[in-house]
Structure 1
Amino acid sequence: DPDGAGSGGEEPTAPGTVHLVGSGPGDPDLMTVKAARLIESADVVLHDKLPGPEILGEIPEEKREDVGKRAGGEWTPQEYTNRRLVELAREGKSVVRLKGGDPFVFGRGGEEAEHLADAGIPFEVVPGVTSAIAGPAVAGIPVTHRDHASSVSFVTGHEDPTKAESAVDWDALAATGGTVVVLMGVGKLPAYTAELRDAGLAGDTPVALVERATWPEMRVATGTLDTIVDVRDEAGIEPPAITVIGDVAATRGRVVEFLRNADGRGEET
């Protein structure tokens, strides 16, 4: 029935609401109260791996759908996720699309919002604490500092592979004198550190890698623009990790011992 009514003349089901929810950087205590409430009340939660094991482990398995990375390194196509959100909402379900960090910071939440709007599905955006700021912070690195950086730029290290060329202007970033935070950039670290050096950024510029920020197994590796690729390889730093480039990365050394003693996180490598 094109109008959605059943053969018995039932009223069409009113669509449910899709909530595009940011779960924060991974520590459940850093998730917003609203995010926790919506997860608890949702009929179904579509998630990837970035919310972290502690958060995902609290969601009943029967209402979880993994739309992230699959076995064998395959990814769920974004088209499938978009279609699934619409299908579930049209069944009248309350849906949470759970993302790590903030849904509108390199999380494709903007694309999903557009798709839902085009399909006439009601949705709500629930911001989260972005790992671009929280990750460095829990590692003892402020992304801005009165003495070291008056600006900060957030960059994705994983652009759309269909683009003919990168949209990131590394020359401009090198010239700002501020902090550069790269998300999802561990694999391409050699490429963009070389771009920044070629653009004139000094090889001794401090750099930090924060792996699994706020998770129990969080690790931090530090070096310079010249050395950080070797540091990454020696330490075995793997995704998800955040790269912090700039003088603020050196401030970690003054607070790291206190942080480590206070919460047991922040293993140095």
Structure 2
Amino acid sequence: MTLISLQNVAIEFPLYHFGARSLKKRLLARLKTDDSNRIVVAALRDLNIEIRSGERVGLVGHNGAGKSTLLRTMAGIYAPVAGRLEVQGSIGSLIDPSAGIDPEGTGIENIRLHCLYRGLEREATDAFIEEVSAFSGLGEFLDVPVRGYSAGMSVRLSFAMATAMTPEVLLMDEWFLAGDADFMATAEARMTSLVGGAKILVLASHDHNILRRWCSRIIRLDRGRIVADGPVEDVLGPAAMPQAVA
């Protein structure tokens, strides 16, 4: 069974050496303080979510609402300070193009590290390297340290590695829309296939067109809390009708 379950989950980020009381006053709506030198940011609070196999869920909310934090929590990057998180099924994450990337290593070295992390045998590793190399189109740049890559090249490498195998649980942030037009045309075809193959999709995006296309359920976040959860049209409202040409 494929499942994501959050029960009363809370995520907090401690900040240290913030002694100015004026700063504390400005942040009172979002923060709670432990002492004069420590501030705790309540990023997610009392989240209760259950996502079952077959669901396509979109996360919406203004910047800082908690969308990316929730994705990272589901991916196991952040550990809850309260509540219970359960994820059943293999996870694939398109959250941060730099996540899991060693900037000092070459593209090929990073691909091999990715294979080691996934526990792939030698034959599967060779096939994975060939697939990522071909799809990324980076050619000889795969022998160059990643720190020298442009933002678009980094996205190509990360996207190719993250999508070379179809996971049961697919977690995506909207960074995957970055990149040059030619690559995005190819990437969209692969993304559509990946979304169709995953048993659960969770997508954070500001683009309502993409959310309407790929999702059947929307969760709206505000200040780390759920303020709406339901069918796409109930949360986003009806899609705008195209205007007739006079």
Name the TM-score, length of structure 1 as normaliser: 0.29
Q: Which has a greater percent of strand?
A: 2
Question: RCO (CA 8 Å, sep 6+): is it higher in 1 or 2?
Answer: 2
